[in-house]
Amino acid sequence: MSTATSQTVSTRRQIPDRLGTPLKRLLGSWEVLLFGVAVAIFIANSLASPYFLDAWNLSDATFNFTEKAMIAFAMALLIIAGEIDLSVAAIIALASTAMGYAAQMGVGAPGLVAIGIGTGLACGAFNGLMIAGLKLPSIVVTIGTMSLFRGISYIVLGDQAYGKYPADFAYFGQGYVFWVFSFEFVLFLVMAGLFAILLHKTNFGRHVYVIGNNPLAARFSGIPVERVKFILFLLTGLMSGIAAVCLTSRLGSTRPSIAQGWELEVVTMVVLGGVSILGGAGTIAGVVIAAFVMGLVTFGLGLLNVPGIVMSIFIGLLLIVTIALPIIGRRIKQARTAR
């Protein structure tokens, strides 16, 4: 073969690396951009309030997001798989009600934890059976169970509250493992690591991505789609039960309105973390950074005495923007390609 022919073959076999080097891909990732936003918010808060940089104040700031973030880890997997669960806050209310009722009967802290987690798992299993078993739309089912679970709490409690919890139960929401590191924050870090391994390092995680991208192709590939979705709803119920234990322990009381509106904040946290609302894409690292961003924003606004309704407006706008921007960007890119 001549030299010219060899060069031609070599040229034809070259595939241009349009994605760039690994460093360029990293610097251009959503997670790095979000991390930069978190740093900017941290600096702005430290300049806006002299109380922000206090170690114990920063520790208190973690309570703004740890419970929601633990649910968000499971919700991220669910949304990546193309499903959603809007009943998570209602599951917290029902689990907290069950724990409160048991506490009035004299059940100790270990039993209350088991009841809270068990109630969350039962609610997750119910959602999973409706969606994976009967193949009903998840958004319709979980809107229904959102009303069902919280409605049961209102029927049991009415306008009253449970508050006679054992003293040792307070550790789960108010205790500290070391110095300013609360039990909740340490649990949040542990859960982040476990869900990162589950999603990014196991066959189950790969199945979640495949289902989110193309559920029909996943079925033809031999992936048990319904079983995976059922497990994902179980995980969401489990994390809601754990969040119920931590929140109830931290507040020291149970009301039917507990965790009202948390489903919006959890979904916002997931989408802000780079998880595609259409499914098939996202990382746990992005959700972790998004949790810190939302926690820093709400805590900073709280130090500046900004009313809670303003924070709700901000979260709603944040959800709209984070959903709309990728879609608008994709349409602009498609329009340019068509030209």
DSSP string, 238-258: HHHHHHHHHHHHHHS-B-TTT
Q: Model confidence over 170-214: pLDDT tens digits?
A: 999 999 999 899 999 999 999 999 999 999 999 999 999 999 999
Phi then psi for residue 28, to 5 deg, are -95, 5
Provide the whole-model pTM. 0.88
The residues that bridge with 254 in the sheet, in sequence order, are 162
Which position has the token pair 């689990």?
A: 95
Q: Model confidence over 249-289: pLDDT tens digits?
A: 999 999 999 999 899 899 999 999 999 888 889 999 999 99
Which of these, 262, 316, 265, 252, lies nearest to 91 by C-alpha position?
262
**CATH class assigned to 34-44+58-330:** mainly alpha
Higher pLDDT, 269 or 26: 269
Q: Model confidence over 126-143: pLDDT tens digits?
A: 999 999 999 999 999 999
172 neighbors 67 (Cβ within 8 angstroms): no
The Cα 145–Cα 122 span in angstroms is 12
